[in-house]
Amino acid sequence: MVPLSKVCVCQSKRKQFFLTLLITLVFITYKYQIGYDNIRARYLQFLKNVTMTSQCERVNYSERVKISSKGIWTMNSIGRLGNQMGEYATLYALAKLNGHQAYILPAMANYLSPIFKITLPTLHDSVRNRIHWKGYNLHDWMEDQYHSIPGDYVMLSGYLCSWTFYHHIREEILREFTFHDFLKEQTNAFLRRIRGERKNVTYVGVHVRRGDYVHVMPNVWKGVIADKKYLDTAMAYFRNKYKNAVFVVTSNGMDWSKENIDNSKGDVFFSDNPKQSSPADDITLLAHCNHTIMTIGTFGYWAGYLAGGETIYLTNFTLPESPFLKLFKYEAAFLPEWIGLPADLSPLLPKDASKLDQ
């Protein structure tokens, strides 16, 4: 029988862990919202500087949406930027494949329109609430049955981020995710500044995903996130291949990144301007690099997809019995030509297996 004192200690530690995780999630959400408030304000200022005709071309007016016999397809709007991009691209591709017009919800428009020149119209609640929707939940990868989804008024759902849905129309998806000019100008200015006097520079974007994943991956999904060894190996690959490689690091764990990324060669630059940094700034910067080093997560995936070039990613980052693998397929998440480096899973294993046998 377990002593009561040990039970109390375990319960106390469990409560402390979940309290710490909750505080971390609240802090991350707060920083994320501040970043989006920042980019929306800059986007609105940008619109003031263009003609009214140009504004009308950019803004999707929901009043023009009519319920017609052609039907309307839309998609849930959940998650943060990487999820929203995956949902948008999947909706765009599946609606086109099935011969229906796609509309996005206002929440998705609020996420994406300040960053990208997206073209799908917005479906406001005044129209949405008049429709009897058929719900259709998707796996996180393309299935044969998705070629003929029944229904004229379909509400797709799921956390989507798989190239298998839309890679056959890659050029169209890339056009949808064209950045607004003010973001491109700002990014190009930053890249010119860090280039300095170097010639023939090869820019490598590095996205280090930490934040809530530091706790969620090991404790919920039985997985790990990228460590120092992984980043050293990935950066060494590009340093050996390109004479003047310059690394641009974005992260939601910048303190850890600065402590663990080797900058002894002076070729690493960290994007952490507190007055301007936002998810929009980071994804624009990464997408304008030649190549990508991602760790885990949809944000890094989209950085690699938009940038093109070579992408190095962390693979096999969960134990075989992880529940994550019921929802996720490595081959559907990462392009075949991308370079996968296996994760070090030793932190998830018993420290000394011999003691378990005694």
Residue-wise pLDDT tens digits, 289-322: 999 999 999 999 999 999 999 999 999 999 999 9
- Give the C-alpha separation, 334 to 342, whole Å: 13
Beta bridge partners of 104: 122
Longest dimension (CA), the chain: 77
CB 220 within 8 A of CB 237: no
CB 161 within 8 A of CB 298: yes
Q: What is residue 155's DSSP assignment? A: E
Hey, what amino acid is at 317? F
The third-level CATH classification (topology) of the domain covering 181-348 is Rossmann fold (3.40.50)
Q: What is residue 265's DSSP assignment? A: T
More confident residue, 208 or 13: 208
Radius of gyration of the chain (CA): 22
Nearest-10 crossing angle of helices 81-97, 298-307: 60
Hey, what amino acid is at 211? G
Beta bridge partners of 341: 314
- Give the C-alpha separation, 29 to 296, whole Å: 19
Model pLDDT, residue 12: 57
Summarised one tens digit per residue, pLDDT across range 82-112 is 999 999 999 999 999 999 999 999 999 999 9
* Domain boundaries for CATH 3.40.50 within the chain: 181-348
List Cβ<8 Å contacts ≥24 apart for 33-42: 34/278, 35/277, 35/278, 35/279, 35/280, 35/281, 36/111, 36/114, 36/278, 36/279, 36/280, 38/276, 38/278, 39/114, 39/115, 39/278, 39/279, 39/280, 39/281, 40/110, 40/114, 42/114, 42/182
Encode 56-83: b = buried (16+ Cβ within 10 Å), e = exposed. Answer: eeeebebeebeeeeebbbbbbbebbbbb
Nearest-10 crossing angle of helices 181-195, 4-48: 110
Residue 61 above 50 pLDDT?
Answer: no
Min mean pLDDT across 41-45, 55-59, 109-113, 189-193 is at 55-59
Average pLDDT for 330-346 = 97
**Helix, strand or coil, per DSSP, at residue 267:** coil
To the nearest whole number, what is the mean pLDDT of the chain? 86
Residue 243 above 90 pLDDT?
Answer: yes
Q: Helix-strand-coil percent breakdown of the chain, rounded to 5?
A: 50, 15, 35
Average pLDDT for 145-159 = 96
